[in-house]
Amino acid sequence: MGASLVFFFILQLSWLIGAANSDCHETCGNVAIPLPFGIKTGCYNNSWFRVTCNQTVNGPKPFISRINLELLGKFQPVENAVSVNNPVSYLNCGDKGNNGTTASSSVDLADSPFFFSTEYNVFGSVGCGNIVYLNNQAADAITVCLQRRCGDLTSKLGGCQANISDNLVSYTTNITDIEFSNPGSKRCTSAFIFDSSRLKSSDVDPQFPYNISINTTHVPATLMWYSVICNLGAAICQKLKPAENPPPPVQSPTIPLNYKYGCIERCGNIGIPFPFGIEVGCYMSNWFRVTCKETSDGSRPFISSINLQLLDVSFSEGIVLVNYSVVYTNCLRETNVVGVNLTGTPFLFSDVFNRFVSVGCDSLAAFLRSPTDDYPINWCAQPHCDNMTSEAMCSRDIPPNLSSFAANVTQIYPSNENNRLCGSAFIVDQRYPDSLERIITNRNDTSKQSRSYFPTTLLWGTHKRGLCELREGSNISCRSDGAYCWASLSETHLCVCHLDSYGDSDDVCQGYEYIDDICKSTKDPKRSQILPIIVGCGASIGTIFVLLGAWHSHKLLKRRNNTKLKQKYFKRNGGLLLQQQLSNNEGKVEKIKVFTSKELEKATDYYNENRILGQGGQGTVYKGMLTDGNIVAIKKSKLVEEKVLDDKKLKQFINEVIILSQINHRNVVKLLGCCLETKIPLLVYEFIPNGTLYDLLHRPNEEFPLTWEIRLRIAIATANALSYLHSAASVPIYHRDIKSSNI
């Protein structure tokens, strides 16, 4: 839990500022307690905001005392908002929750100033094959969540979510098994209200957080509160209702497609721009052919291929507005299922502009891809007819790439048929709210439900991101009024240059300006734009090559200096003399090896401290592994004052190296070779893995007890080694430093 807290105070509420003690800087665990909440008397505004610091298995945690919810350490950046840990309700999960179809939330905010924020919270459920209802205090369904089909491999998470109603203070959940997926089965299901902005979604299901599962017991939720000036129930206290935030603006897509020069035609008062047309040669293909039909309201254009009335066309956005049919129930013009299949056509329902809408009460509107589909896209639960506090309608987003649609309206609440309203379901463009007013206003009069169609937006192409340019010499066409020009990029996409409210033509039409009916090439500005780019790219590439050349020269110079330094040390340490001795005594001292400094650096991992076997007054011994896999001990003598050895001492040192390399006794560590390329020569010995006598004497080992018999064997072996060095070696050698750490 984060300890970063953000809280904005309302300056108008002077009593809120004065109520808190200026010395209140309280914490519980790693959570800071901000105003108006507090632990000590005088640090909270009133008892609704009193916090208790409880000891839990995870350490101290702050709880809002009167509603018994854990207070989280992160606040929303708005007034009167706080995050809490909201418990999850379970159904048919064994000893967790209830076994049946109804579960009650353990959170009851009634008579308190707190309520679940509609702006930040949503209703969620984990499971499969069920419809989960969220009911208010009056047991009316206020939203519905459709779980995924069991066994659907594209839905590994099994989560669904839906919006909640305003001012929700307590709730219950009901589940209904979808009859065509294992009827009668009781699958474990969880339900909860949570703040989706605090949890990250996954690639598997971008609409549902990946860290919520059937085993999740608590989820973060955001509570808001009315400002109260007493400690009684919120219903009799003064309230200040938080302001509603305006909805985010709808963003319009830009969709270039394969246009060609069109004719300006009209049917009634509707203009028919390209790619649509009435006469042969004025439309792009038969999909876009328009028929002008005579109706009771005058001449109206219809798209012949899909038989839908055309209302408007936006060439630059690639969309067309049509009249789409409505399904009615409990009305004079009742229809159970209706739908239009656009599969195989260039048209799709726009998920940016359109929404599923259902008007009425006591019914559940199922949105399907086709009338024969056995599983809905989404559900929309209408409010209860006997207790409607708002408009009798519900709505849902539509999925992208939707090419077919059907609706089915089914009664879900038993009620007096005389009280039931005329219900309907349809897809409507949300930019035209006026089209809903008449059907909502006349919902109580079934005889007035005569509206058969609503404005719906269709896409007629696919989106391609990025800027394009109308290049000189390409096949450019322009509309006669100069509103836009286009050129073909491929068989399926066009570059479109247009004047509209979304941007200036200079940003879209690079290298072209509008003059009446045509796009005229402006070569000079284009050349002036390209020249700086060429100069800049050339300078950048040249700089990169200069830097690469300098870096390469530096590496070569450094390598050359290192080679010269190694040659200098090799000569000073008697390397040439050793090579001469080896060549003169060929066959006698062939076993000694002259190592390079690079070999020993690699063997010791560049003399890593983890490779040190021991340290003493003479130097440090490292453990190393040669390229052939042999383990060796490398002795690095301590650095003494640098001086050049005279020829006599140099010859003596080399002779000693040769003599030591010829020693061959089982109780004497063998010298394998040396390295003369370093400042101080390095000696390479065979590696003895069993430690020293000092270790056995002072660090007893149960696996290798030092019995008197073993002690006697060690003493005899030591004596044999000394006898060999003193008498049997070709040149007598006197150790002069016999001690337990050297044995």
Q: What is the pLDDT of residues 355-410, one digit of tens each?
A: 888 888 878 888 888 877 777 888 888 877 776 655 678 888 888 888 888 888 88
Task: Assess contact for 455 and 432: CB atoms under 8 A.
Answer: yes
**515-525 pLDDT tens trace:** 333 333 334 44
**582-613 pLDDT tens trace:** 777 665 555 678 899 899 999 998 888 888 88
- Which of 166, 445, 481, 737 is catalytic? The answer is 737
Task: Assess contact for 165 and 135: CB atoms under 8 A.
Answer: no
Kindly tell me if the per-residue pLDDT of 557 is higher than 70: yes
Q: How far is the C-alpha of 129 from the C-alpha of 185, rounded, in Å?
A: 10
- Range in 345-354, 564-573, 629-638, 690-699 with the lowest mean pLDDT: 690-699
Span 318-438: which CATH code?
A: 2.60.120
Predicted local distance difference test score (pLDDT) of residue 733? 84
- Range in 55-59, 131-135, 350-354, 650-654 with the lowest mean pLDDT: 650-654
> Three-state DSSP class for 436?
helix
Residue 18, both tokens: 């004065």
Predicted local distance difference test score (pLDDT) of residue 60? 92
Spatial CA neighbour of 180 closest among 366, 8, 355, 15:
366
Give CA angle at 498 (497, 501), nearest 5°.
140
Residue 3, both tokens: 């300890």
Is 737 a residue of the active site?
Answer: yes
Residues whose CB is less than 8 angstroms from the CB of residue 108 and which lie 6 or more positions away in sequence, other chains included: 169, 170
> Three-state DSSP class for 439?
helix
Span 575-742: which CATH code?
A: 3.30.200.20
Predicted local distance difference test score (pLDDT) of residue 457? 92
Spatial CA neighbour of 303 closest among 316, 317, 319:
319
Sign of CA dihedral 221, 227, 232, 234: negative
Can you name the residues that pair with 550 across neighbouring β-strands?
Answer: none
What number of residues does the chain have?
743
Domain ranges in the chain are 14-71, 87-236, 318-438, 575-742
Pick the residue with more confidence: 180 or 508? 180
Q: 0.85 cut: is pTM over it?
A: no
43-69: average pLDDT: 89
Average pLDDT, the chain: 74
Q: How far is the C-alpha of 410 from the C-alpha of 178, rounded, in Å?
A: 14
Side chain identity at 72, as an amino acid letter? L
Residues whose CB is less than 8 angstroms from the CB of residue 166 and which lie 6 or more positions away in sequence, other chains included: 118
